[in-house]
Amino acid sequence: MEGKDVRLFVKRLDLIHPLASGNKFYKLKYNLETAQQSGHDTVLTFGGAFSNHIFATAAAAKAEGLKSIGIIRGENTSQLNATLQQAQANGMVLSFMDRKTYRTKHEAQHIDQLREQFGRFFLIPEGGTNALAIKGTTEILTSEDQHMDYLCCSIGTGGTIAGMINAAKPHQKVLGFSSLKGNFIHQELLDLLETHHIGFQNKYELFTNYHFGGYAKHKPELITFIKKFKKETGIPLDPVYTGKLFYGVVDKIKSGYFPSGSSILLIHSGGLQGISGFNQRFNETLETK
């Protein structure tokens, strides 16, 4: 990058699988394996109408020969959006849950009711973060990445960064860029790391000022950045996660955060499936590949 003596690398998890792409592939891997090993033929999970997690669960479950049920936040609309259409095409049974119930969806009474309604299923939480997911995201970094000084990723629930912190070497620092507004993620990640016994002393730093208004919100400068980045590098970014991450890292480079000579790895965690829905809603023209 001009004027700054750093090297930037991108790990393209968006390219590992046409449907179950990005970090979701890693988060689902051991969940689906465990579902099968424990004799389940169905997985059930939760998500919003544009959710990458819903999209990926449908695709990955199908590939593994499992049935899937998606509990979608909000009311059913007459026309399903592209995300839900594709999930349904991959065999996912969609069921809509009103927003009030959805807030307490993980409580036992609601789960019991879902079991009554749908029969036996393997439950994957909203966003997919649990111990099995973190086991999977620990595999995102490989021995090839050991010469990197900084490992940068986007944060939603924190399952991805938790695995990366677990895998990072002592000389490496993991930088997390939250796509959600607020500072709650500091405590949430600490809880996650402690629950899963992941050592984290001096291993990571979080940035919470690149949310562009909050989760799934955006500002013109983010969209301009994504388009410019695509033009210059050929790499498509999504406006919910990776666009904010890459913007943040470039901003940090400009402001001199990284010492001269640093090697910086950015994790492209996928999310490109959401772009067509985004374009439709906001009359935008972001590229999907």
Ligand X SMILES: *Cc1c(COP(=O)(O)O)cnc(C)c1O
Question: Should residue 151 be labelled a site residue for ligand X when binding is judged by CB under 6 A?
Answer: no
CA distance 285 to 249: 23
Sole binder of ligand X in the list 136, 156, 236, 248 (CB under 6 A):
156
Q: Least distance to ligand X from the beta carbon of 53, Å?
A: 6
The answer to whether 69 touches 92, Cβ cutoff 8 Å, is yes
Question: Should residue 31 be labelled a site residue for ligand X when binding is judged by CB under 6 A?
Answer: no
What would the two tokens of residue 152 be? 């940068």
Distances (CA, A) of 195 to 35, 98, 139, 204: 22, 30, 19, 17
∠ at Cα 276 (57, 88), nearest 5°? 35
276 is catalytic: no
The answer to whether 272 touches 289, Cβ cutoff 8 Å, is yes
Query: If residue 143 lies in a helix (H) or strand (E), which one and from where to where?
Result: none
> Does residue 275 come out as left (phi exceeding 0), alpha (psi in the -120 to 50 range) or beta?
alpha
Helix (H, G, I), strand (E, B) or coil at 234: coil
The strand pairing partners of 93, in sequence order, are: 69
Question: Given 21, 38, 51, 179, which residue is catalytic?
Answer: 51
The residue among 172 and 242 lying less far from ligand X, judged by its C-beta, is 242
Sole binder of ligand X in the list 212, 269, 275, 278 (CB under 6 A):
269
Backbone phi, then psi, for 206, in 5-degree steps? -110, 145
What would the two tokens of residue 115 be? 């079991």
Q: Least distance to ligand X from the beta carbon of 55, Å?
A: 9
The residue among 147 and 281 lying less far from ligand X, judged by its C-beta, is 281
Question: Should residue 157 be labelled a site residue for ligand X when binding is judged by CB under 6 A?
Answer: yes
Q: Which stretch binds ligand X (CB under 6 A): 76-84, 92-100, 140-148, 236-244?
A: 236-244
Question: Should residue 241 be labelled a site residue for ligand X when binding is judged by CB under 6 A?
Answer: yes
Q: Which stretch binds ligand X (CB under 6 A): 16-24, 75-83, 220-228, 251-259?
A: 16-24
Sole binder of ligand X in the list 168, 175, 271, 278 (CB under 6 A):
271
The residue among 79 and 187 lying less far from ligand X, judged by its C-beta, is 187
Residues 52-91 that bind ligand X (CB under 6 A): 52-53
Residue 261 CB partners (closer than 8 Å, separation 6+): 5, 6
Q: Which stretch binds ligand X (CB under 6 A): 38-46, 89-97, 213-221, 234-242?
A: 234-242
What would the two tokens of residue 55 be? 């999209």
Question: Should residue 236 be labelled a site residue for ligand X when binding is judged by CB under 6 A?
Answer: no
Sole binder of ligand X in the list 129, 130, 138, 172 (CB under 6 A):
129
- Binding interface with ligand X (CB under 6 A): 22-24, 52-53, 127, 129, 154-160, 238, 241-242, 269-271
Any idea which residues carry the catalytic annotation?
Answer: 51
